[in-house]
Structure 1
């Protein structure tokens, strides 16, 4: 029997074989009814059987084997299946594994038949695999689009629905602060509202950056000619205003002019300086060094403080990881170093950290001076001298 009529006549057995596998995809499949698990599988089998029987040119065969068969105007059964699986909580790996299981179910049952392989059966098997590849590609593409749409909705909520009411709250606090009859205690409370609102906006900005980086959009950079040392002095001055009791020492050398994203570079300085302030000994200075090299400019921020534990250094640049001492009482979400890493990588640069009780902690970021210099791509480097920090 040829493969296409075999699929049509044995669809229930094939689906039952496949369903046993689908049920193992917990927790996504946990509690789903047989009908939910089987949705569109019979339609996919019909598509495959019809595709095997359809004549095609060599070019069409090549395109289909690469998952590039031209689309019709309507959503395919594979795309509908992807939408249902995404809505049902199946992740991408689980959905792809369904197609692997379907492929295995068909070939297992067909191969169990008592027949001698012929040239036609080999052609049918090739056509079957091409159809599975095409359906898998369509499902992956559609699933990815659904995830991207969900991401855009999430960013819209953060960027608009939360930012606007927080902005209104901060504006109200500023207006109330202008009332002359307020007591000192009332002024303190209003100032706290403004400060908390500003912090909430900062957290939203961080989460938006992290979401874009982790869901595939990447950290966008808009390059312009700028002086790294000048931006350094600006950010250090702001940090001095926030922490007047701390000492900051700036050293710059060489040509520090290049093509970078000024606001993003400001984020790097702000995150690394804030990190040094938070974990450095208060009575010792924080040293900032900007050095112009041949094709790049390096930034090093050093502080003396308790070294980072060895078990923290490996994931120091990951999101939601904090390297400070336990019980420090900080409400830091642990996003600063992750965002810093993404900004540096987006510029084609590298970042590393070294820390020890003797030498203190130093974060060093290297930024290629131009797009051409960064074309080779950047990487993230983590190093430790004796014991690492933060």
Structure 2
């Protein structure tokens, strides 16, 4: 190797005899060790190593060079003249000279490589820790999902059981309630004092209210547990059906003023009983929450191959925050009127009956115009 390349090499270089005696070094090795080239010449390379390095040189490195003629990337600790040590990677090869065998040594500093390896090891440990944390998190998530699914299944069974119990109890209440109404009607036929007639009137009104509540409960359980609410739609005169329903509701709600408006001509294919149930629920809702000093208006409309029924009342507006969920079961627009309606199913039943007729229900409410429920069929 030309001296210029030897002296300017990017790594530390040395040439030794077979016994390790140094023949020649480049400036980089001198700088690393803190010795001059003259001070290093004649010294044995293995004497520059730590105790562990000298043992490794004698037992492994020197025999491998003699047997194989070369070694690659052997990690050694070498001492500076000041006493501190640093780590190098040694590559060595055997070269035959006329006067004997020499070894060419190339030493590479490992500071940056060691730092990189430490960072790599730390990154690996961090990745393993994150993987372990991720695995633990996924396990906890799966466990939470399983517990949630089990809790949901239990809640579903409880809800189904509760709805079935409501259906059973509501059905069983019909017979004693019918007996109470029949007895009340029979007692009203005889001679009664004013106080007795007033009490019998209260009994009749309460039993009618209870019957409406039971009907709502039965329809609710049929919609949620059974096969859905059923109807028997036939051609009918919508205006007559609504007028008949309004006449009956005037008796049920004597404190309210009910006004019926009919618009348009023609027939509609609907279930008359279910339409009357819709009107009954909407009027009862208006009685509960509206201003009874002003009339409740029921409008039936026919025309353009469509029909609709609207119930309007004056009074406080329904809060905007409640409008979106107003037709959900067990929902109320206000706490008022609890003496009239004690089960929050009326509007839910109205929506289900409208949908089973192929239509829907909408509501508009403001302080000036009042509240209007419109059922489109």
Give the TM-score taking structure 1 as reference length.
Answer: 0.52
CA contact (8 A) 1:322 1:333 kept: no
* Structure showing the higher strand proportion among its residues: 2
> C-alpha separation between the residues in 1 aligned to 2:343 and 2:233?
28
Q: Which residue of the partner structure matches residue 202 of structure 1?
A: 212
> C-alpha separation between the residues in 1 aligned to 2:263 and 2:337?
39
SS of match in other structure, 1:321 = coil
CA RMSD of aligned residues (A): 3.5
Given candidates 187, 192, 202, the residue that maps to 2:202 is: 192
Q: Which residue of the partner structure matches residue 173 of structure 2?
A: 162
CA distance 1:167–1:259, shift in 2 (3 Å): same
Question: What does the per-residue CA deviation read over 1:98-154, in whole Å, with 9 as the maximum and x for residues that have no partner?
Answer: xxxxxxxxxxxxxxxxxxxxxxxxxxxxxxxxxxxxxxxxxxxxxxxxx98997776
Q: Which residue of the partner structure matches residue 360 of structure 1?
A: 370
SS of match in other structure, 2:353 = helix
Does 1:295 pair with 2:305?
yes
SS of match in other structure, 1:299 = strand
CA contact (8 A) 2:326 2:332 kept: yes
Aligned residue pair count:
238
Question: What does the per-residue CA deviation read over 1:263-292, in whole Å, with 9 as the maximum and x for residues that have no partner?
Answer: 001111111122223322223222222222
- Quote the offset at 1:246 in angstroms: 3.8
> C-alpha separation between the residues in 2 aligned to 1:359 and 1:230?
27
CA contact (8 A) 1:229 1:256 kept: no
> C-alpha separation between the residues in 2 aligned to 1:295 and 1:365?
15
Q: Which residue of the partner structure matches residue 25 of structure 1?
A: 147
Larger radius of gyration: 2
> C-alpha separation between the residues in 1 aligned to 2:209 and 2:168?
19
SS of match in other structure, 1:344 = helix
Q: Which residue of the partner structure matches residue 135 of structure 2?
A: none
Structure 1 spans left out of the alignment, 5+ residues: 1-16, 30-84, 93-146, 368-390
Given candidates 268, 283, 286, the residue that maps to 1:273 is: 283
Q: 5 Å matches for 1:334-345?
A: 334-345=344-355
CA distance 1:27–1:200, shift in 2 (3 Å): farther
Does 1:213 pair with 2:223?
yes
- Quote the offset at 1:345 in angstroms: 0.4
> C-alpha separation between the residues in 1 aligned to 2:301 and 2:196?
47
